[in-house]
Amino acid sequence: MHLPWFKIAPLDKGTRYTECVITPALDLPTINQTDNAIATKRVLLLKPRGFCAGVVRAIDIVQIALEKFGAPIYVRKEIVHNSYVVTDLAKKGAIFVNELDEVPEGARVIYSAHGVSPAVRQHAKERGLKVVDATCPLVTKVHVEAIKFAKQGYSLVLVGHRDHEEVEGTQGEAPDVTQVVSTLEEVAALVVPDPDKVAYLTQTTLSLDEARYMIEALKAKFPNIVGPHAQDICYATENRQVAVKNVAHGADLVLVVGSKNSSNSNRLVEVSKNLDTNSYLIDSADAIQPEWLEGVNTVAVTAGASAPEVLVKDVVEYLQTLGYGDVDEVEVMPENVRFGLPPEIVQAIASAPGALSSAR
């Protein structure tokens, strides 16, 4: 049932397909090294890395839908921002579309992990589509906050990248009162009806430092601004950035496994570069350029929250063939988070004979 890209903690009867994401320890081949110069080369494998609970949940939703309902299953936008994952699911019968007009009336469609606006939900209803919502619960939290602040009469400032699907969905909850800002200059240029009635929210995949600077600027401009009770940046984004911050100073190069359109993966590269450690975003081991490794003895490897572990394994094994035979896994903090599945999927599982035993 589950892709072999992550380990699943044991499930009890009450949780069924609820996932518990654990970054696995890679079982890598031993490289014999006799050259002392080569032996100094090493890989620091960061932990936590790769799939977060929201990504596992979203992928599971598509896979279970394909198994229980049959192909084709339509998915609005990429289910998660990783080309390997999208290609794999497409081979299994998922059809990825940009807009709901591309979905036949009455067909089943899955919303991506990044969420959608109320306008998209209404359009789906008008077309009679059978909807399964794979929005990450932590993105839904931000949507709920946007609705709450808007109902309370606040002008909303959404800190994020305006071309990102998550931001489009969140802004769509209260479009008339929401402004998106991505730079300090945009904060300075903000104009609102009542400077004493302003609230802020953030995209869940921002850089921690970027978000902090932006929030500080907002508080300086609007001293009475309010925000969410808990930060909007998700646990996985934060944990992977903290891991890079803890290890980058001890590496000559940081390789981040992830796709170009993955916001949280790009932020990991930025975090490393801001610490003066060179870094590159790679979709796979094939993207590694020989010149990147010139004079490099220590390579740190991590992965964005939508990157599967199989790609990390390929990268480490490739580096081993180049003499980076000493692989040390550096665990910065434990990560053990689970999210439940939406009711449509739970019901589909419950109606299938022996479903619980197959999930184990």
Topology match between the domains 20-52+235-331 and 138-221 = yes
Instruction: Look at residue 36 in the predicted model and tell me its pLDDT.
Output: 45
| Amino acid at site 255 | L
**Distance (Å, whole) CA 337 – CA 327:** 26
In the CATH scheme, what is the code of domain 138-221?
Answer: 3.40.1010.20
Question: For residue 106, what are the contacts with CB-CB under 8 A and spacing of at least 6?
Answer: 127, 128, 129, 130
Q: What is the DSSP letter of 323?
A: T
pTM: 0.88
| Dihedral angle sign, alpha carbons of residues 292, 293, 296, 302 | positive
H-type helices in the chain, by residue range? Answer: 36-39, 53-69, 83-91, 118-126, 137-151, 165-171, 184-188, 208-221, 235-247, 263-274, 309-321, 343-350, 355-359
- End-to-end CA, the chain: 9
Q: How far apart, in Å, are the Cα atoms of 352 and each of 2, 56, 64, 127?
A: 16, 21, 11, 28
> Which DSSP string do the residues of 55-96 spell out, in sequence order?
HHHHHHHHHHHHHHH-S-EEEES-SSS-HHHHHHHHHTTEEE
Answer for the pair 114, 166: CB distance below 8 angstroms, yes or no. yes
Question: What is the tens place of the pLDDT at every residue in 196-237?
Answer: 999 999 999 999 999 999 999 999 999 999 999 999 999 999
Answer for the pair 211, 202: CB distance below 8 angstroms, yes or no. yes
pLDDT profile of the chain (360 residues), mean per 10: 33 35 53 48 98 98 97 98 98 98 98 98 98 98 98 98 97 98 98 98 97 98 97 97 98 98 98 98 98 98 98 98 96 96 95 55
Instruction: Look at residue 309 in the predicted model and tell me its pLDDT.
Output: 98
Instruction: Look at residue 352 in the predicted model and tell me its pLDDT.
Output: 75
**Distance (Å, whole) CA 235 – CA 316:** 25
Q: What is the CATH topology of the domain spanning 54-136?
A: Rossmann fold (3.40.50)
Residues marked as catalytic: 166
Spell out the CATH class of 20-52+235-331: alpha beta
Extents of the domains making up the chain: 20-52+235-331, 54-136, 138-221
- By C-alpha distance, which of 104, 108, 100, 107 is closest to 76? 100
Rg (CA), the chain: 22
User: Which residue in this structure is represented by tokens 């600077």?
Assistant: 213
**Distance (Å, whole) CA 31 – CA 53:** 33
In this structure, the strands spanning 94-97 and 73-76 are parallel
